Structure 1
Amino acid sequence: MCEGVKMKLGIFRRVTLVLLILVLLSSAAFASSLQLTKDAKNLETYISHPAQLAAAREKLAKLEAKTGKKPNVVILLVDDMGWGDPGVYGGGSAIGAPTPVMDRLAYSGLKLTSAYSQPTCTPTRASLLTGRLPIRHGLYRPPIFGEKGGISDEITLASLLSEVGYRTAIFGKWHLGSDAPQQPQNKGFDESITMYEGSPKFYVVTDCKEKMSEVYHDPELKAYFNRIKKLSPGVMKANKGEKAELALEINWDTIPSLDQKFADYSIDFINRMAKQDKPFLLYHCFTKVHEPSVPSKEFEGKSPAKQPFHDCLMEVDAIVGRIIRTLKENKLEENTLVFLLSDNGPDEDEFPDMGHTPFRGAKGSTWDGGVRVPAILWWPGMIEPMRTSDGLFDFTDIFNTVLSIAGAQDKLPTDRYIDGVDQTSFLLTDNGESNRSAVFMYTLEKLTAVRWRGWKKHLWIAEIGDGTYAGGIGTKDDAKIIRTPGLNVMNLYIDNKERKSIGQKKAWTTPFFGRMIKKHRQSLKDYPPKKAIVTMQ
């Protein structure tokens, strides 16, 4: 038999197999085969583990009977830290920046290896607080240089926890908008001391003679940015419902110690809450290790790498240690769930002032390097130590999971679609399995990739630009978003660099991805997304 005939027969057999699977996999059969459950039309489908859930609930009930109150929640969100930065993920000493605190936290808790953020900071932060993907909450990209945010009509985790008796606080970077309706004290936080903008460099743009010479030497541009800065002049402080006031100016003198200041605020909050009966949510958001890397004097030049980024990574590690130590000193660790996360992958555009990832791509893309991030969960006595899991975890899951742990599942909104799933049983059960079936990844308004089990399908990819800037998105050396042919499927377990599509060879994956994407797009019809890119208005 000639090679041409063999090839045609091979293609025919693969196509026939796909068609057969498509016929056999009715909606009911598909759901049944994956043990999928949907509790309400506006809630995401999830993998049900009844025995696991019962065990987790029993654990929580025993803890509440012992402590007499609901658990506290601490979310530590690092800016632009790559999957490969902490030592426990292969970084640390290997990259010239030891991270002993993060490593100990992982060894005494749960290390997730397939946790997914959004490609950039603002979409991630909005998704974490709302349980909704960017296509729904409307913050497709970060607001920059005074642009309005778009979270004013969203329901946040902080506001729902406040309704069930939690004291809520945020200290650090906000980056969801700077006008009054978007500010944290008007979005559910009882206490807030925050930097509204995405980076300290916003506050010194008119002083950057070398990097921003076009602004520095232009009186008109300088005057424009100075006017914008008056709307957000530095670190702003406000209690719920109050008008924000300036707490600290941000300039070259204060930038190095900014994260230490935010740590002081968080530590003070924990110390105060230890004397109260109320449970609390502490959302601590680092400004590091976002560029420009400017370590405090205590850490300047202290990393083995002798690089500013690495100094800053070590400083972040030390601050995590300060906060964990404060919880222990107040004997709160038994009743406090701690998340340690990064908001997206490393920022390759700022080389060498950037983090590390073993995966393809970086911040701004939905290659795994841009959205697969370190995630460590710590809760002594509740989360088994020395656990590592590759179970899927999306940042939207934090919304549902924290509400569940707080006993506030009934507070889940019913008037909008919630993309998160409750991962309580996954986190609290020894050797628990993830309840998430798939992760949906967006670049601006485009669904660009979907991960299911160890497989990942790309609908659009970010491709490094050719220097012409035609159709470029302005990051990753003017990367372009390119539509794939449709069978662009990778097996991440054997190809974590996402270099080789084997969608044609593994055509059996097509109906599985097809049904997931169809169901997801149907949810967008049932609950229409925000059509405008809020931050581009």
Structure 2
Amino acid sequence: MLGFVSSAALLLAIAPALASSSASRPNIVHILIDDFGWNQVGYHNDPSFLEVSTPNIDSLKNEGIELDRFYVHKICSPSRTSIQSGRSPIHVNVQNVHPEVVNEEDPLGGFQGMALNMTSVGDVLKDAGYKTSFVGKWDVGMATRAHTPHERGYDEFLGYYHHSNDYWQQTEQKCSLKKIKDLWIYNETFDGPAVHLANDPACGQDNQELEKGKRCQYEEEILLGAVLDKLDEQAAAEDEDPLFMFYSTHLTHMPLQVPQEYIDKFGDITNEYRQSMRAMSYYVDMEVGAVVDKLKSTGLWDNTLLVLHSDNGGEIMTQFCGSNNHPLRGGKFSNFDGGIRVNALVSGGFVPSSRRGVKEERLVAGEDWLRTYASVAGVGDRWTTDSRAVEAGLPDFDSVDQWPMLSGESAADATARSEVWIGDTTSIEFNGDGDTLVGGLLRDDGWKVVLGAENKMYKICQDVTTPAEYPDGKFTPRVPELKCRKCGRTPEDGCLFNVRDDEAEENNMAEEQADIFDEMIARIDELQESVYSPTRGKTDKRACKAAKNDYGGYWGPFL
């Protein structure tokens, strides 16, 4: 197995001839929203019960392409790793472990997230001559600098490394009972903790108005400001190199924290969890609107491709999570569609006029953006395979170039993606390590098999559909995570649905369509032979040591 090859060395080795002209290479703005439930966007609201307000996202959908069959992994880190690497989660990561883990016996894959020697979407667009910037939640690795955006093709980074942090104090997890902050900056002149952006210790969800001179700024405001500043910089730039901006919002992930003025807008909602989640959804829509306004006011919009989607379904494990995926079954952490089918759209002035206002029903997966962007950027022919990963014995790209479909170049009845491979893990803990499993299969004809892990008695949990008003304090599921069903390997105990005809996955067709079920189980077994399943390791004490001794109480690379 070959040693790690840095992205900088890769790009020098390739020495590409850049794509022809800037006009043929649009700016690309990718907005990834966190845990954004299916029913948390206005255009998916029940018409008889409209309480979610997302006018900016709704407008983008109306002016662009709605991706109605867009699938990702059921958990944050695997989904993000898939997007960055251009691989199905079963070939890169299905574990939601924390970034402090290390397995020194595996120098390529023994860490959180994406294995070293795998090329990222940032690498690909940098190869195409793009300026590259990442703002927000990373969650793809932190152990070494090579795991961070700095060595994954991004020129600049402002964000945090973990699954989440406190929106006001920027803290996540502890070292020796001391809370550690997680917010980092990397650019041409600085590489280190964002100490100057830390708030006063008194600042918090219940104390947002401090006396003059004491800092108290909502984290999302900081992140949005960085995105808008970068767009201004791009508009003023004298060169013709386009921009790739990956904007990964913290919203609408837990904890339920948002400026009070936004909660007050939803004062008619009595359930505090739903009220906070509606306010957070409204806030993220405001952020999207600010990005679009900036693109238009600076003249960037006409040559911009904007992609927006969630990393997984809304979290409904208990009602205090506040999310809602109505009418889909389940949510985050579950392989029912509520956990893996998410809000998604493509918009911007670069979208052909003939495709605007289209609701696209063909399959698209999170890993598809890498080769789609390579195609749009004019380097698609160079990125049909990931040679350095293959040479290191690692899985190749699974990414499908969706631009022919998105642009309307392909026939109306054609589809580039015939399957979505659904990932799972043997890990009992939500954020633990385990073996990679193929937890199901979705075909473009709508047939979907969900397969539980054998060591979990084949159970798939969150076997509920929540009402449009959820959570509401009525006789609705308080703890959906406890509602489980067996989804085994035989037609008698298996789970087969046609999600095109039955989006709530109410009608189990495994026995009635036993031939289809058996055929799909055989395909799952075939895919299982190809999975990438490194041991990620255990929490390494050097992470806390670096946080305390090197970074002044902040998380950062520690090896």
Range class of TM-score, shorter chain: 0.7 to 0.9
Matched, 1:263 2:257: no
Contact in 2 for aligned 1:142/1:198 (Cα 8 Å): no
Cα deviation, residue 240, structure 1? 6.9
Q: Secondary structure at the match of 2:256?
A: coil
Residue 129 of structure 1 is matched in structure 2 by 84
- Aligned match for 1:371, one of 336, 340, 344: 340
Structure 2 letter corresponding to 1:136: H
1:66–1:175 distance in 2 versus 1, CA, 3 Å: closer
1:128-277 to structure 2, matched below 5 A, reads 128-143=83-98, 149-151=112-114, 153=116, 154-181=118-145, 182-201=147-166, 224-226=176-178, 229=180, 233-239=181-187, 243-247=191-195, 248-249=197-198, 252=204, 257-276=218-237, 277=240
Matched, 1:401 2:362: no
Q: Secondary structure at the match of 2:38?
A: coil
Residue 214 of structure 1 is matched in structure 2 by none
- C-alpha separation in 1, matches of 2:113 and 2:167: 19
Q: Secondary structure at the match of 2:183?
A: strand
Q: C-alpha offsets along residues 268-301 of structure 1, whole Å, 9 cap, x if unaligned? A: 1111112231111101011111111211244231
Q: C-alpha offsets along residues 328-376 of structure 1, whole Å, 9 cap, x if unaligned? A: 1122222111111011111112524422211111100111011110001
- C-alpha separation in 1, matches of 2:131 and 2:357: 31
Residue 55 of structure 2 is matched in structure 1 by 100
Matched, 1:423 2:402: yes
1:299–1:515 distance in 2 versus 1, CA, 3 Å: same
- C-alpha separation in 1, matches of 2:190 and 2:63: 40
- C-alpha separation in 2, matches of 1:282 and 1:206: 25
1:178–1:531 distance in 2 versus 1, CA, 3 Å: closer
1:145–1:536 distance in 2 versus 1, CA, 3 Å: closer
- C-alpha separation in 2, matches of 1:270 and 1:91: 35
Q: C-alpha offsets along residues 108-142 of structure 1, whole Å, 9 cap, x if unaligned? A: 11111111110111001000010112332235214
- C-alpha separation in 1, matches of 2:150 and 2:372: 23
Residue 449 of structure 2 is matched in structure 1 by 457
Contact in 2 for aligned 1:143/1:176 (Cα 8 Å): no
Residue 285 of structure 2 is matched in structure 1 by 317
Q: More deviation in 295-304 or 434-443?
A: 295-304
- C-alpha separation in 2, matches of 1:146 and 1:284: 26
Structure 2 letter corresponding to 1:446: L
Structure 1 letter corresponding to 2:256: S
1:536–1:341 distance in 2 versus 1, CA, 3 Å: farther
Cα deviation, residue 267, structure 1? 0.7
Contact in 2 for aligned 1:109/1:386 (Cα 8 Å): yes
Q: Secondary structure at the match of 1:360?
A: coil
1:22-41 to structure 2, matched below 5 A, reads none
Cα deviation, residue 476, structure 1? 5.5
Cα deviation, residue 315, structure 1? 0.5
Q: More deviation in 234-243 or 288-297?
A: 234-243
| Aligned-pair identity (%) | 23
Q: C-alpha offsets along residues 40-77 of structure 1, whole Å, 9 cap, x if unaligned? A: xxxxxxxxxxxxxxxxxxxxxxxx98953411111111
Matched, 1:439 2:439: no
Q: More deviation in 500-509 or 446-455?
A: 500-509
- C-alpha separation in 1, matches of 2:231 and 2:504: 41
- C-alpha separation in 1, matches of 2:379 and 2:282: 37
- C-alpha separation in 1, matches of 2:47 and 2:123: 37
Structure 1 letter corresponding to 2:373: V
- C-alpha separation in 2, matches of 1:167 and 1:417: 25
Question: Number of aligned pairs?
Answer: 445
- C-alpha separation in 2, matches of 1:343 and 1:394: 11
Cα deviation, residue 152, structure 1? 5.1
Q: Compare CA radii of gyration and give the structure with the larger one.
A: 1
Residue 385 of structure 1 is matched in structure 2 by 356
Residue 43 of structure 2 is matched in structure 1 by 88
- Per the normalisation by structure 2, the TM-score is 0.72
Structure 1 letter corresponding to 2:335: T
Unaligned segments of structure 2, at least 5 residues:
1-18, 103-110, 209-214, 270-274, 426-435, 453-457, 464-478, 541-559
- Aligned match for 2:315, one of 329, 340, 347: 347
Q: More deviation in 409-418 or 77-86?
A: 409-418
Structure 1 letter corresponding to 2:192: A
Matched, 1:283 2:235: no
Structure 2 letter corresponding to 1:185: H
Matched, 1:117 2:78: no
Larger helix share, 1 or 2: 1
Residue 490 of structure 2 is matched in structure 1 by 486
Cα deviation, residue 481, structure 1? 8.8
- C-alpha separation in 1, matches of 2:148 and 2:185: 10
1:508-519 to structure 2, matched below 5 A, reads 508-510=515-517, 512-513=519-520, 516-517=523-524
Cα deviation, residue 511, structure 1? 6.3
1:516–1:337 distance in 2 versus 1, CA, 3 Å: farther
Q: C-alpha offsets along residues 244-265 of structure 1, whole Å, 9 cap, x if unaligned? A: 2325226626787211211110
Residue 5 of structure 1 is matched in structure 2 by none
Q: C-alpha offsets along residues 305-339 of structure 1, whole Å, 9 cap, x if unaligned? A: 54111111101001000001111112222211111
Residue 386 of structure 2 is matched in structure 1 by 413
- C-alpha separation in 2, matches of 1:116 and 1:183: 25
- Aligned match for 1:477, one of 477, 481, 505: 481
1:205–1:368 distance in 2 versus 1, CA, 3 Å: same
Cα deviation, residue 93, structure 1? 9.2
Contact in 2 for aligned 1:301/1:308 (Cα 8 Å): no
- C-alpha separation in 2, matches of 1:295 and 1:317: 13
Cα deviation, residue 176, structure 1? 1.9
1:378–1:437 distance in 2 versus 1, CA, 3 Å: same
- C-alpha separation in 2, matches of 1:244 and 1:481: 47
- C-alpha separation in 2, matches of 1:519 and 1:255: 53
1:47-86 to structure 2, matched below 5 A, reads 68-86=23-41
- C-alpha separation in 1, matches of 2:33 and 2:46: 15
Residue 507 of structure 2 is matched in structure 1 by 500
Cα deviation, residue 395, structure 1? 0.3
Q: Secondary structure at the match of 2:312?
A: coil
- C-alpha separation in 2, matches of 1:139 and 1:500: 28
Residue 532 of structure 1 is matched in structure 2 by 535
Q: C-alpha offsets along residues 406-464 of structure 1, whole Å, 9 cap, x if unaligned? A: 11221341323212211111111078453110111112212111111211012226444
1:465–1:386 distance in 2 versus 1, CA, 3 Å: closer
Unaligned segments of structure 1, at least 5 residues:
1-63, 208-220, 467-474
- C-alpha separation in 1, matches of 2:460 and 2:21: 54
1:371–1:352 distance in 2 versus 1, CA, 3 Å: same
- C-alpha separation in 1, matches of 2:134 and 2:309: 15
Cα deviation, residue 90, structure 1? 2.3
- C-alpha separation in 1, matches of 2:441 and 2:166: 34
- Per the normalisation by structure 1, the TM-score is 0.75
- C-alpha separation in 1, matches of 2:339 and 2:174: 33
Structure 2 letter corresponding to 1:245: P
Residue 26 of structure 1 is matched in structure 2 by none
